[in-house]
Amino acid sequence: MLTSRQKLILKAIVEYYVEYAQPVGSKILTKMPYLDYSSATIRYDMARLEELGYLEKTHTSSGRIPSERGYRYYVNHLVTRDSDVADDFPLVDEVITRHSYSRNLAVEEAINLLSELTKYTAMAVGPKNSEIKITKIDLIPTSEREAVILIVTNKGHVQHQNIAIPEGVKVNDITEVIKTLDDLLKNRYLEEAEQILKSRFAKEQISSFVEYQRQIYDSFIHAFAKFAEDKFYLSGITNVFDQPEFSNVDNIKNFVDMLDRREIVKFIGGKDSLNVTFGSEIELKLMENFSIISVPYRVSETEKGTIAVVGPTRMEYSKVIPLLEYIASNLGKLYRK
């Protein structure tokens, strides 16, 4: 159990280090108006906080920096929401109002604004594919040699894939194949439909068009990928490159690759409230000095999306948290309209 004085000192060290990225010594703390204690007293408490694992001593300075445990305690017990962030709320309101006719655009623009205001990488993840069912698959001929495959879901999503009809293959024959796939995949969850499509049984249903089978198969896989892509938004990838944590070029390359492959998505979402995930809790070596702050927003009674900010563990939590909460709240209202 930390004393009230130790809590104040830990809070001061975290917030100073967040702002300046420099180890904190007792001399700096004695100059803070709310730490009206002697230098010896502050040094004692700093040593005690280090013994308890809340602070770490660097090799290049006599000062201390917060440990991951110190950040966790700060986030859970000490962080206060910066009231100045409310000055940015009208910008959020403007985005939501301007794109109230299109939820997807509203989410995308809100994420762009979030990355711009925080100077970190921002993202949004929509409801999981497990909630999406295929309701209809259809083929619409557009000419003798071209057609469009339509895939419709229970959430109102529609994907269309243009396909070329090879010589010697009739449109009616392709229509029958699509009807067969419609029977196979209708009312199936998206993930289940993808597994069925990859199965030997499904391939046998279209095996009569061996040279055409790959095109149909690829069209469906591409459509399924688009459903997932439509629910992932990313902005401000390069924002974090100004942080000291990215002084290594390899870190930059790995970070971009990780976001491009969307490995980070599995660590976002699934929570019902504000969540802060630190590097040691993430199974990615690159994320050791980083953290993710995420907040869910309600899409329906049974579904929720998540918005998140990725940045160094030395993040401005007092500013990022209220901004995330405000955006999530307003996106939730948009879906309830």
Whether the per-residue pLDDT at 337 is higher than 60: the answer is: no
pLDDT bucket at 227, cuts 50 / 70 / 90 = low
DSSP secondary structure code for residue 81 in this structure: -
Which amino acid type is present at position 90? P
**Adjacent-strand bridge partners of 158:** 152
Question: According to the model, what pLDDT value does residue 55 have?
Answer: 96
Q: Centre a 10 Å sphere on the Cβ of residue 327 and count the other Cβ atoms it contains.
A: 26
Tokens of 46: 């700093």
pLDDT bucket at 23, cuts 50 / 70 / 90 = very high
CATH code assigned to 130-229: 3.30.390.60
**CATH architecture of the domain with range 4-78:** Orthogonal Bundle (1.10)
The CATH H-level superfamily of 83-127+231-336 is GAF domain (3.30.450.40)
Whether the per-residue pLDDT at 230 is higher than 60: the answer is: no
CA distance 106 to 117: 16
Lowest mean pLDDT among 130-134, 302-306, 328-332: 130-134
Residues 280, 69 contacting (CB under 8 angstroms): no
Where in the sequence of the chain do the CATH 3.30.390.60 domains occur?
A: 130-229
CA distance 270 to 268: 7
Residue range 4-17: average pLDDT? 95
Residues 61, 23 contacting (CB under 8 angstroms): yes
CA distance 265 to 303: 17
Is pTM beyond 0.85? Reply is: no
287: region left, alpha or beta (phi > 0 left; psi from -120 to 50 alpha):
alpha
Q: Which residue has the higher pLDDT, 168 or 85?
A: 85
pLDDT tens, position by position, 182-211:
888 888 887 788 777 777 666 666 555 545
Could you tell me which of 75, 90, 88, 112 has the C-alpha nearest to residue 318? 75
Residue range 66-72: average pLDDT? 95
Q: Centre a 10 Å sphere on the Cβ of residue 53 and count the other Cβ atoms it contains.
A: 12
Where in the sequence of the chain do the CATH 1.10.10.10 domains occur?
A: 4-78
Question: According to the model, what pLDDT value does residue 284 have?
Answer: 62
Q: Which residue has the higher pLDDT, 232 or 123?
A: 123
